[in-house]
């Protein structure tokens, strides 16, 4: 556990601002939603494309809402 805390405090991850975490949350949510929709509509084949598109759209939405 100490190693994890050291990594978080020594890396850029530990220095992300509140807005960065907010935007990251939208990116994760968008990716999961997009992957789910893409996978459902294409029988699983479009999950990766839907995830990628969802992350990009989530980043845009997070950028508007979190800043």
DSSP one-letter code for 15: G
pLDDT score, position 19? 64
Q: For position 16, what pLDDT does the model report?
A: 52
Tell me the range of 2-6, 18-22, 24-28 where mean pLDDT is highest: 24-28
Nearest to 44 by CA among 56, 36, 33: 36
pTM for the model = 0.66
Residues 6+ apart with CB under 8 A from 31: 51, 52, 54, 55, 58
47-67 residue pLDDT tens: 999 999 999 999 999 888 887
Give the sign of the dihedral formed by CA 9, CA 28, CA 57, CA 42: positive
Q: Where are the domains of the chain?
A: 16-66
């Amino acid at each position: 556990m100490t190693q994890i805390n050291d990594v978080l405090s020594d890396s850029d991850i530990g220095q992300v601002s509140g807005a960065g975490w907010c935007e990251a949350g939208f990116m994760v949510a968008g990716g999961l939603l997009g992957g789910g929709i893409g996978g459902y509509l294409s029988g699983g084949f479009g999950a990766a494309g839907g995830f990628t598109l969802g992350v990009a759209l989530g980043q845009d939405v997070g950028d508007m809402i979190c800043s």
